Structure 1
Amino acid sequence: MGFSALWRNNNNLPPSPGWAIPLVGHLYLVGMQAHRSLQALSQKCGPIMYLKLGLVPSIIVSSPEMAKEALKDNGLAFASRPYLLINELVGYNSVGIGIRYGEHTKRLRKICTVEFLTTQRINSFSWVRSEELSRAFRVLLKSSERKAAVNLRELLSTFTFNAVTEILMSRRFFGDASKGDADSIKFRRSIHQSLSLAIKFHITEFVPAYLRGFLEWLDPSIPHFKKLHEIQDRFLQKVLEEHKESRQSTKDFMDIMLENFKEEGSGGENVVKAVITDLILASDSTGVAAEWAMAQLLHNPSVMEKAQIELNLVVGPNRLVEESDFSKLEYFQAIIKETMRLCPPGPLLIPRSSDEACKIGGYHIPKGSTLFINAFAMGRDPRIWEHPTKFMPERFLGSSTDIKGQHFELIPFGSGRRICPGMPLGLRTLQLILSNLLHGFDWSFVQGKVYTLEDTFETALLLKTPLEVMATPRHSLDVYKVF
């Protein structure tokens, strides 16, 4: 059956790309780069599709209208997450934030948003971000002196990792050259390996719960996941014990979590470690977004020049960009929106699961369906955006469209009940590092090397080739001395 004769059953399911193969379903239609495979299918099937991924009914949404119906109008129905192997094996048997919606999830999100991610708390950690910025500058200045290329992905990853672990655990693990002690290096590597494993095919994620125990032996990733979890747990338990013995007056996030779960013994400690792991895993997307922005700007030098002109006017040549400057940088903010539109770090967002049957677009959505929002496809849809594949921040000038979950054509952090709780901190961190990279340095590709904007879906939507660049200071050296 071709795409022109879309199959539907008597339950009025959304359009589907032909018949599903027994046991396999439509998995044969989804390639390694799932965001692109599903984009191509949606161009033929429409903005909402029904796919059977293995034995799991799945809904793929790729328009703002359908996304709004799913995440806002049916927000309670889709408040849970589907079964993911990483949540079970790395997330302490799914006791972290990314689990089924209920009292435990609401309690965790309340602690995160009220105790940790308020504007006041985020402001109080500005010194952490400034200190890490200073260290990043030292790396760039040394590289400039030697006329050496900078691996921007490594620089940005180190910046975001240290910034978030300092806030979460009062610990930074890597120095100017990304060198830390052996345990820190193993921990950081295990985090990235967990992310890489998480997006691979796992048979237990595509079958009903009653079959998972029988099929685990078919997944070679499971022993690897368990080894990574051992590394992470050993490291986090050591830090946790140090916090329990500490008498510091200033409390970090781990201290706050331990206070909230101190009556629950080792089970409560597992919750603390699971949430810390969730937040560290999520922070990786900040560095990914910054690398994409720099890559787009290097391929569009006129846009970079406009951003630097704005920074010169607002900030001037005698200081760095401060967080209080962000609201005055209209063109720079447009660059961030355009980056998130064209290169969302999570191209399919984090999937959700329906706790009850509902309707989207007039179609029946069965209970237990997995929902995928294809933010990548929406960002490149010519029905929504003029010249959708062109990097053109001007499209957002004078526009009220933001990226905070209210405008469904641009929802890189999700929307509704399960919007990313770390969005305020992630955005603040992204704005600080990106604005100062642009204001502090002139940038160029390494001479003789060819760079493309080709993407690959690994730990996130990454540049296929890590960005190596040459940095040249734009100001006198005393300007870069933050600390």
Structure 2
Amino acid sequence: MDSEICTLLLLTCTIIHVISNKVRRKLNYKLPPGPSPLALVANLVELSKRPQQTLAKLAKLHGPIMCLKLGQLTTIVISSPDIAKEVLQTHDLLFSNRTIPQATTVHNHNHYSLPFLPVSPLWRDLRKICNNQLFNNKSLDASQNLRRKKLHELLNHVHACSLKGEAVDIGNVAFRTAINFLANTFFSLDFVNSVGEGEEYKGIVENLVRAIGTPNLVDFLPLLKMVDPQGIRRRSSTYISMLFVIFDRLIYKRLEFGDATIDDDMLDKLLNISQEDGQKMDHKKIKHLFLDLIVAGTDTTSYTIKCAMAELINNPNAMSKAKRELEQSIGIGNPIEESDVTRLPYLCAIIKETLRLHPAAPLLLPRKGNIDVEINGYTIPQGAQIFINVWAIGRDPSIWDNPNSFSPERFLGSEIDVKGRHSQLTPFGGGRRICPGLPLAMRMLHLMLGSLINGFDWKFENDVNPDIDMGQPLRAIPFRINK
């Protein structure tokens, strides 16, 4: 980071810290403890690279509910499941809105985005459409044949690599499969195919996810908006424009020509809703909804699969147990159906354990206090940005035995799930803002991971176990198991 930016941050933070301290004394606030602006600036580089780990270290010094003053925004970081439950469940309505990252404001996306809209009539309409039309079991069952075809293509690719002795980039093939799962569920077509056609779609989504996921100084210092020092707004605008061109083309083609071969995919459902009630859904809202779903469902899925595979290859005992369960329930090399997952408790435990250790959204999406709320003896002021550090909660030794060890067995016979009911494991959030695509995500994760390990043995390329949390690619060589 440029020294000029650091100097500007330090100066601005110091001034704001002095002013805000005076204001708080007048209002008689008792904010949670936290590091000084100087300490934050000293950790700024590390904070931008691994925010969840840096914040977890700071929480050990300042406590499970911590206040950060960086720039003009008060940020509350929670690293305790009991306090997280207060935000996600007990006072869910009071913390139901979002602070808005600058990257989401391009094309006025924040005015249509389901994850970032305030609780409002539009938000409720979109939420009902997702819950009742798109992600209910009936709709997902109806579209599983589309996902089955994409899974078959994935396994063919892995098999071809095994015959050649070539390594597979797990994150890359998982991303390709995830985006095609979604594209077929939404549009009944591929975004990326096996011969490289559609690679531009993959590049657009990857670059957009990277831009949105980068910690943005502007979100802490609004005075930098005009400068856009990291270019995040500019890049986000470029890639969103590209996706909207694609969506416009797909919507126009479907409206103009239709497709008798398509059996009511998500685009059809949304177009039907728009024709019945243009207030609930129109073409603009369709585009923004698909943008949210594709961005949320591709990178997170591929990252989770990559982490699960890395952990299993690095833990032969867990891999053997998973293979044995699949062999007994499905048969070696036989295709896995989504309906089979309930008969695979160890596979389910692997997914939970991976989400505990490697949550794709380690701080969840930020919430915002609608009013002043007292929690755990401290005031969370109106307008404060609130992060739940689920990465820190997932590695808390007071909650989990051997928290840094990969041990799916801890979830066997356990009632803990990822549906937001258990605050020690909330990788998809909780309360009314829980991720609406959770049912589809869980189907995709179990189906893809189970298929990759059923019928193939794996070893790291060059016997190198990469640091996947730092974004390094996972390259592994598959070996076909004979039936």
TM-score using structure 2 length: 0.88
Taking the aligned partners of 1:313 and 1:404, their CA distance within structure 2 comes to: 28
Taking the aligned partners of 1:313 and 1:162, their CA distance within structure 2 comes to: 30
1:197 equivalenced with 2:211 (yes/no): yes
**1:94-115 per-position Cα deviation (integer Å, ceiling 9, x unaligned):** 3121222211111101111101
Quote the residue 1:55 is aligned against. 72
C-alpha displacement of 1:269: 1.8
Residue of 235, 248, 264 corresponding to 2:246 = 235
Quote the residue 2:6 is aligned against. none
Q: 1:60 to 1:337 in 2, by over 3 A?
A: same
Taking the aligned partners of 1:444 and 1:106, their CA distance within structure 2 comes to: 47
Quote the residue 1:459 is aligned against. none
Quote the residue 1:349 is aligned against. 364
Q: 1:368 to 1:316 in 2, by over 3 A?
A: same
Taking the aligned partners of 1:440 and 1:144, their CA distance within structure 2 comes to: 11
- Report the residue type matching 1:222 in the other structure: R
Q: 1:25 to 1:207 in 2, by over 3 A?
A: farther
Q: What SS does structure 2 have at the residue aligned with 1:296?
A: helix
**1:55-114 per-position Cα deviation (integer Å, ceiling 9, x unaligned):** 111110111101100111111111112111232116635312122221111110111110
What are the residue-to-residue correspondences of 1:277-426 with 2, within 5 Å? Answer: 277-284=291-298, 285-317=300-332, 319-426=334-441
The CA RMSD over aligned residues, in Å, is: 2.5
1:105 equivalenced with 2:116 (yes/no): no
- Report the residue type matching 2:480 in the other structure: P
1:84 equivalenced with 2:101 (yes/no): yes
Q: 1:91 to 1:392 in 2, by over 3 A?
A: farther
TM-score using structure 1 length: 0.88
1:68 equivalenced with 2:85 (yes/no): yes
1:251 equivalenced with 2:258 (yes/no): no
Taking the aligned partners of 1:193 and 1:90, their CA distance within structure 2 comes to: 17
C-alpha displacement of 1:29: 7.9
Taking the aligned partners of 1:314 and 1:64, their CA distance within structure 2 comes to: 35
1:474 equivalenced with 2:481 (yes/no): yes
Quote the residue 2:285 is aligned against. 271
**C-alpha contact (below 8 Å) 2:104/2:212 kept by paired residues:** no
Quote the residue 2:151 is aligned against. 133
**C-alpha contact (below 8 Å) 1:186/1:231 kept by paired residues:** no
1:119 equivalenced with 2:134 (yes/no): no
C-alpha displacement of 1:397: 1.5
- Report the residue type matching 2:476 in the other structure: V
C-alpha displacement of 1:264: 4.9
Quote the residue 1:461 is aligned against. none
Residue identity (%): 32
In the alignment, structure 2 segments of 5+ residues that lack a partner are: 1-20
**C-alpha contact (below 8 Å) 1:116/1:122 kept by paired residues:** yes
Taking the aligned partners of 1:470 and 1:101, their CA distance within structure 2 comes to: 47
**1:290-335 per-position Cα deviation (integer Å, ceiling 9, x unaligned):** 1100000011011100111111111223732222221121211111
C-alpha displacement of 1:128: 1.4
Taking the aligned partners of 1:54 and 1:244, their CA distance within structure 2 comes to: 48
C-alpha displacement of 1:410: 0.5
* Residues paired across the two proteins, number: 454
1:225 equivalenced with 2:236 (yes/no): yes
